[in-house]
Structure 1
Amino acid sequence: MIVLPAAAFIWLGMVLAISFLEAPLKFRAPGVTVPLGLGIGRIVFAALNRAELALLLVVGVALAVGPRTPALVGMAAALAVLLGVQLGFLRPALRRRSDQVLAGDDTGTEAPRSRHHLVYIALEAVKVVVLAALGAAALVAIA
Structure 2
Amino acid sequence: MVLAISFLEAPLKFQAPGITIPLGLGIGRLVFRALNACELALAAVVTAGLLLSGGGPGGSWGLGGCALLGAVALLLLQLLLARPLVTRRSDAVLAGQDPGEHRSRAHLLYVAFEVAKAAALGVGAIASMVALAALTG
Q: In structure 2, what residue type is equivalent to 1:129? A: A
Which residue of the partner structure matches residue 83 of structure 2?
A: 91
Name the count of aligned residue pairs. Answer: 128
Shift, 1:115, TM fit = 0.9
Residue 29 in 1 paired to residue 29 in 2?
Answer: no
Opposite residue 42 of structure 2, the aligned amino acid is: L
Is 1:100 the equivalent of 2:92? yes
Q: Deviations over 1:94-137 (max 9, x none)?
A: 111111111122x3323x21111111111111111111111111
Q: Which has the larger radius of gyration?
A: 2
2:76 is paired with a residue of what secondary structure? helix
* Structure 2: stretches of 5+ with no match in the other structure: none
Residue 63 of structure 1 deviates from its aligned partner by 1.4
Shift of 1:61: 2.1
Ranges of 4+ aligned residues in structure 1 off by more than 3 Å? 65-68
Q: CA RMSD in A?
A: 1.5
Q: Distance in 2 between matches of 1:130 and 1:65?
A: 21
Aligned-partner Cα distance in 2 for 1:62–1:142: 15
The answer to whether residue 103 in structure 2 is matched with residue 116 in structure 1 is no
Contact 2:46 / 2:68 at 8 angstroms: preserved in 1?
yes
The structure with more helix, counted as a fraction of residues: 1
Code of the aligned partner of 1:139: M
RCO higher in 1 or 2 (8 Å CA, sep ≥ 6)?
1
Name 1:10's counterpart in structure 2. none
TM-score normalized by structure 2? Answer: 0.86
1:37 positional shift: 0.2
Whether the 8 Å CA contact 2:86–2:110 is kept in 1: the answer is no
